Structure 1
Amino acid sequence: MPERKLHADCSRCAALCCVAPAFAKSSDFAIDKPAGTPCRNLGGHLCTIHERLDASGFHGCVVFDCFGAGQRLTQETFGGRDWHEKPQMLTLLPIMRQLHELMWLITEALKIDEARPVHGKLRDALARTDHLAAGSPANLETLDLDALRGRVNPLLQKASELARASIRNRKDHRGAQLIGRKMRGADLRGASFRGALLIGADLRDADLRRADFTGADLRGTDLRGADLTGVLFLTDSQRRAALTSSNQKHSGPRMT
């Protein structure tokens, strides 16, 4: 299969993420917005405050990534039309986003040398997921995403285990409640943070080499100075949600 762009390209989308989701006024969004209603900052298909989203109280927009689902729906599924003509696009965005996120995770797993024993199955899973994402609107609406994740997740977990197998005494924090936890400077090589809540946690200067962050909530997590060499399944969205050395502006809740 051809290489597919699995990051948002807003120039090729019909601003679906500015219309489809609902959000409530909070630290992430300055206003309430019902689902299916255009954001008040939308002008045509462009955000009129894109360069100052954080300053305007829309940090939730800064950290969002559709993994390329928006442009695929716009350009491929609906042939360049927009949500005014095809409102069905709005209900399909979360479905396509989940498919593209799975494809991103599989693509990352294929980059892991230690996971070569499962590369064949991963390539098959990637091709299958891409094929499903190429389906008609009617087929997309009836997809069993839980069943698909049930087939793909064991492969991703196996890839992660193979990548971390040589690291002794690695911590298992899968699904853990680590909100505000102080772990500055900790040896967390090869730790699993799959699905963990790390909101506001202090991981400054921690050794996170080969740690697995699949689905972890990193809002306000302080990663400044942390060693993220070879980190697994850490998305750009998660990085933007956290506080890093390259992102000095505080970007989320912080526990004291």
Structure 2
Amino acid sequence: MTTTDPSTDDRAALRADCSDCFALCCTAFGFQRSADFPIDKPAGTPCLNLADDFSCTVHDSLRPRGFRGCTVFDCFGAGQAVSKRLYAGISWRQRPGTAAEMFRVFGVVRQLHEMLWYLAETADRAMHPDEAVAGIRDAILTILDGEPAEILTADVDRLRDEVRRVLIEVSQEVRGGYGAEEEARERNGLHPSADLAGRDLRDTPLCGADLRGAALIAADLRGSDLAGVDLLGADLRDARLAGADLSGSLFLTQAQLEAADGDRATRVPEALHLPRHWA
């Protein structure tokens, strides 16, 4: 994948390019032995599967080896931005003294890139683009253009609150076209942060539902139409999406798809792609 400038409007600039990264996700973050990882790894230490050239020695067999957590992580292009742009292609192995700072900067830049991803979707979905969105986006880009030390001082919480407000407004605007089914959605407990784990939702009217932060773990959504469904932060681990139409859903990410189970008949938003393991 070609590295692109994250200051452009193209969301391709916010896609991970592991070939241009110093394996920051494999070093900066820690994880514990669980259903997603077969081992413990402290933050700031290289994964035992990391090769000298920063590639993963078990990349093609992560799931069967128990490293499912690696397959559902998305840095939104922060890895290459930090590695090649902010640190000029000089790795933490070449200059060990930069490692701690580089890992912290990666954590901040990832959050900022994720915000840019969602803001890009609001530009596509909003009926009346808000000038405030451009202001927030410009503020984020200004931070990203700074030096590593400056990035670490960014008020990420404030920016996240501003982005969240914009996303809620756009969500309400889009979902407003599905008001006729609101009572049915309420009867079925479809609301933000709803616990829908394991539920059979195949015959449930879903269009226009606000499922931000909902637990949809192992929920059965086969053949469902999710047009206008807000899935921001929804937990789709093992959700059954075979034949479902998510092409018109809101704020769905590639990481959420990677955590779910679908098939070649599943439809996804144009900016995303069907996970390889669905084959």
Q: Return the TM-score normalized by structure 1.
A: 0.91
- Number of the residue aligned with 1:53: 62
Q: Is the 8 A contact 2:136 2:159 kept in 1?
A: no
1:82-121 superposed matches below 5 A = 82-84=91-93, 85=95, 86-87=98-99, 88-112=101-125, 115-121=126-132
**C-alpha separation in 2, matches of 1:118 and 1:161:** 14
Q: Is the 8 A contact 1:194 1:214 kept in 2?
A: yes
**C-alpha separation in 1, matches of 2:155 and 2:70:** 28
Cα distance, 1:126 vs structure 2: 1.7
**C-alpha separation in 1, matches of 2:277 and 2:144:** 36
One-letter code aligned to 2:120: T
User: Superposition RMSD on alpha carbons, in Å?
Assistant: 1.7
**C-alpha separation in 1, matches of 2:196 and 2:141:** 34
**Gaps spanning 5+ residues in structure 2: where?**
1-6, 265-274
- Number of the residue aligned with 1:211: 229
Q: Is the 8 A contact 1:223 1:243 kept in 2?
A: yes
- Number of the residue aligned with 2:89: 80
One-letter code aligned to 1:26: S
Q: Is the 8 A contact 1:122 1:155 kept in 2?
A: yes
Pick closer, same or farther for the CA change 1:28–1:57 going to 2, 3 Å: same
- Number of the residue aligned with 1:68: 77
194-203 vs 37-46, which deviates more? 194-203
* C-alpha distance after superposition, 1:15-38 (max 9, x if no partner): 000111111111111211111110
Cα distance, 1:181 vs structure 2: 2.1
Higher relative contact order (CA 8 A, sep 6+): 1
Pick closer, same or farther for the CA change 1:248–1:98 going to 2, 3 Å: closer
Aligned residues: 248
Q: 1:143 aligns with which of 137, 143, 154?
A: 154
* C-alpha distance after superposition, 1:200-245 (max 9, x if no partner): 2221222211111111111111111222131111001100101111
* C-alpha distance after superposition, 1:123-176 (max 9, x if no partner): 222222122122221122122211111112111111111112111224452122
Q: What is the SS of the residue equivalent to 1:188?
A: coil
Q: Is the 8 A contact 1:83 1:90 kept in 2?
A: no
- Number of the residue aligned with 1:3: 9
One-letter code aligned to 1:61: C
- Number of the residue aligned with 1:223: 241
- Number of the residue aligned with 1:254: none
One-letter code aligned to 1:231: S
Q: 1:181 aligns with which of 180, 189, 199?
A: 199
Q: What is the SS of the residue equivalent to 1:167?
A: helix
**C-alpha separation in 2, matches of 1:20 and 1:50:** 18
- Number of the residue aligned with 2:23: 15
